[in-house]
A and B are shown apart, each in its own frame.
Chain A
Amino acid sequence: MADFRPGAPDQAAFLGELLEGRLLVETGVPGVYGRGEDFERVRVGVAGMISHAGAAEDPEQLRFPPVIPRRDLETVGYLQSFPHLAGSIFGFTGNEAQAAEQYGRASQHEDWSEFQSMTELVLTPAACYPVYPAIAARGRLPVGGVTIDAGSAYVFRHEPSGDPARMQMFHQREIVRIGEPEAVAAWRDVWRDRAVTLLREIDLDARFDVATDPFFGRSGRMLAASQREQKLKFEVVVQIAGPEPTAVASFNYHQDHFASAYGIELADGSGAHTACLGFGLERITLALLRTHGLDVETWPATVRAKLSTPAF
């Protein structure tokens, strides 16, 4: 198993309360939980609040399942940056004898991996990933580029943790902007500031910071330094549990990283840039539970009202 990161004492205690209150449901694997009705109602309410905030942009709605082609993961170079976080999907294509042997091992909870081979699919690591090839397939962008709302999508990160705010599978409420560099960069900044306001309106003590992605290894430190220097990534952070505030949303300017990989061009044929934002719906839900208490019925009416917009 990947290295398990134990939570800080107050994170572990918070997880215990969530499980006891049946807001989360244990599966036996850290970072993978069922959700109770109250948790889901709040999570969906947060999603709706974000939809409402973005409605004026009139984004195009696209939805994708939580897997992407392995080839796309390879094309964008994910494994250079985050080999430790990827979840790949293997399957069985053997014969009857192999199936019987595999079943025998599995029944004893022993290692049956030798009978498994790569499929064409991996788990989606970030909700914007399937958007780029989909838009690229349309040909040149219209004037002004596009804004795509990818909804609330499950994403996977292979990092088992005792911190309830570090799940292996969680929802990103994702919006993507593809177009001219200046417009895309400005869009990113507008949403970063808007997010702080939105979260403060539900009484979360939010602020933003320059941040880096968790790039792997030594070359990862170099990528992180470059990302930080260029302020390509901002995170909005809120104190949940643990020694530091937790990033609950990120605002990412990719320059031409994805657009070049897929050959996305502006209306005039020059290269496009992209940016995306992702709100961590489970983290925001946890922040609300931590701030307002586990009994949602007792939350301030103003907060509950803000969480009542349909998400679509």
Chain B
Amino acid sequence: MTDEIRQIIKDHARLSVDVEEISDDDDLYLAGMTSHASVNVMIALEDHFDVEFPDAMLTRSTFESIGALAAAIAQMQMGASV
């Protein structure tokens, strides 16, 4: 799953570094992702994984790293709610 997330980050997050250079735990905002870019990431993730982020999860912390996104998507795919 993280490979798919990485591809979406590469396509939409507009990082100032290559996505290959960041770990699953690195801060995406520090890597150059703006809040507007994070919205585009959100929409692309929802399309790709066929999930819908509930409002409570549309926070900066959900999108702060590839690992955080993977955990969020896994949670949504299991149908768990926050």
Contact = CB atoms under 8 A, between A and B. Distances in A.
Q: A and B: real partners?
A: yes
A226 B55 contact: no
Nearest to A256: B34
B33 to A, nearest CB: 11
Interface residues of B, number: 11
B36 A225 contact: no
B58 A221 contact: yes
Contacts of A229: 59-60
Contacts of B34: 255-257
Nearest to A257: B34
B60 A219 contact: no
Contacts, number: 35
Contacts of B71: none
Q: Is the interface of A mostly helix, strand, loop or mixed?
A: helix
A221 B55 contact: yes
Interface stretch (B5-13, B19-27, B37-45): B37-45
A222 interface: yes
Q: When A and B form their complex, which 8 residue pairs have the shortest distance between CB atoms, in order from nearest?
A: A222-B58, A226-B35, A219-B39, A229-B60, A226-B60, A225-B59, A222-B39, A223-B35
Interface of A: 77, 80-81, 218-219, 221-223, 225-227, 229-230, 255-257
Given A222-B35, A223-B36, A225-B58, 9 more contacts: A80-B39, A81-B36, A219-B39, A219-B42, A222-B38, A222-B39, A225-B60, A257-B34, A257-B36
